[in-house]
Amino acid sequence: MPELPEVETVRRILHPVIVGQAIQGITLGTFPEVIGSTMEGLDPVALLIGQSFTDTSRRGKYLILHLDNGLYLIVHLRMTGRLLLIPSIDPPVRFQYVAIHLGNGLDLRFGDQRKFGRLILSTPDDVTQLDRRLGPEPFASSLNASTLRAVLANRPGKIKNALLDQGVIAGLGNIYVDEALYRARIHPERPSNTLAVDELKRVLRAVRLVLNQSLARQGTTFSSFENPYGEQGTNASFLRAYGRASAGGLCLRCGAPMERIVVGGRGTTFCPRCQVNRIPSPNPQELDGESSSTRLPNGSNS
């Protein structure tokens, strides 16, 4: 599933191409249900035609396209959704269900092999409700170890599940949670409310580090993710934890075999030697000598 780096990569590429462009028409494919509206009884296609894109933003894993009539087209890629920029004269791509024809001769096309993704025409109130439902962005200045500790204080569940909860931190998924916990040397099944502030500092530094690294490589592609020009992200070959147990991988720190367990229904990779499931005495280890920024590079307007 596309996570924050993948959705932000899509946004950054789309922004200079679609902002200021009018929607001249829309062609639907064989699964028109992928496009909908929160406004009951109103046809989203009819409301979109003639409007122009005025801005783009992102909230968690949601891409938000701003329209000049004050409405928003909220895009959730889910598992295999793709937004592609393709010349209008080109034939449909595989699994294409929506083609938005722009005034610059390009189409913004939505395809989705598994048909889970959605494009939802939404009101300002819908966007406000979405914002309230989601937790802080990983790079938000308001998110720090103390505020995270307060959120987790009454959550005895596993830390991996907490980090996957979009109401705790928005935008994280299975890949980057595994990577961050590995970097921070925290066992994925550690009870959330047992992590000390110093440990949560490590977790947040690791989260920001792995997200920044993936953003610099335009995301992680295993099978389906592509940016709007059909290019794959290159971060997969730099992963240190996610998926390495099934390939017989060894820990890049200590050489122990990586292990795979299931946490909250998600396959989870960790090092049993570096990520021990116990509450340590106060002497936190740092990350692997790497620095991370608390700011999202290249200026997302999320």
Read off the pLDDT of residues 191-232 as tens digits, 9 standing for 90 and up.
Answer: 999 999 999 999 999 999 999 999 999 999 988 899 999 999
pLDDT confidence of residue 112: 93
Distance separating alpha carbons of residues 142 and 300, to the nearest angstrom: 16
- Give pLDDT, residue 44: 97
Predicted local confidence at residue 6, as pLDDT: 97
**Tokens encoding 32:** 């028109």
Residue 161 identity (one-letter amino acid): N
Q: For the chain, how many helices (H) and strands (E)?
A: 7, 11
> Residue 269 is encoded by which pair of tokens?
């990779």
Residues 6+ apart with CB under 8 A from 142: 136
Q: Where do runs of H (alpha helix) occur along the chain?
A: 4-18, 44-48, 124-133, 145-152, 159-164, 174-184, 197-216
> 2: which 2 tokens?
């596309």
Question: For the chain, which residues score pLDDT lower than 70?
Answer: 281-302
Backbone φ and ψ for 267, nearest 5 degrees, come out as -60, 135
CA–chain centroid gap for 71, Å, is 23
Within 10 Å of residue 91's Cβ, how many Cβ atoms?
6
Indicate which residues carry an active-site annotation.
Answer: 2-3, 61, 266
User: What six digits make up the tokens of 291?
Assistant: 């620095």
**Residue 13 dihedral angles phi and psi, to the nearest 5°:** -75, -40
Q: What is the pLDDT of residue 123?
A: 98
Per the CB < 8 A criterion, the answer to whether 78 and 118 are in contact is yes
Instruction: Quote the longest CA-to-CA distance of the chain.
Output: 64
Strands 96-102 and 118-122: unpaired
Q: What is the pTM of this model?
A: 0.91
Nearest-angstrom CA–CA distance, 275 and 233: 28
CA dihedral 54, 55, 59, 62 (to 10 degrees): 60
**Cβ partners under 8 Å of residue 229, min gap 6:** 13, 84, 85
Four-point Cα dihedral 42, 44, 48, 54, nearest 10:
100
Q: What is the pLDDT of residue 301?
A: 46
Tell me what pLDDT residue 291 has: 47
User: CATH 3.20.190.10: which residues of the chain?
Assistant: 4-133
| Distance from C-alpha of 166 to C-alpha of 172, rounded to nearest angstrom | 7
3 state SS of 217: coil
Please give the pLDDT value at position 297: 54
Tokens standing for residue 214: 């993936």
User: What is the CATH number assigned to the segment(s) 145-270?
Assistant: 1.10.8.50
| Residue range(s) in the chain whose domain bears CATH number 1.10.8.50 | 145-270
The pLDDT assigned to 73 comes to 99
Beta bridge partners of 66: 55, 72
Fold classified for 4-133:
N-terminal domain of MutM-like DNA repair proteins (3.20.190)
Q: Return the pLDDT at 247.
A: 77
Q: Residue 202 and residue 285: Cα distance in Å, rounded?
A: 8
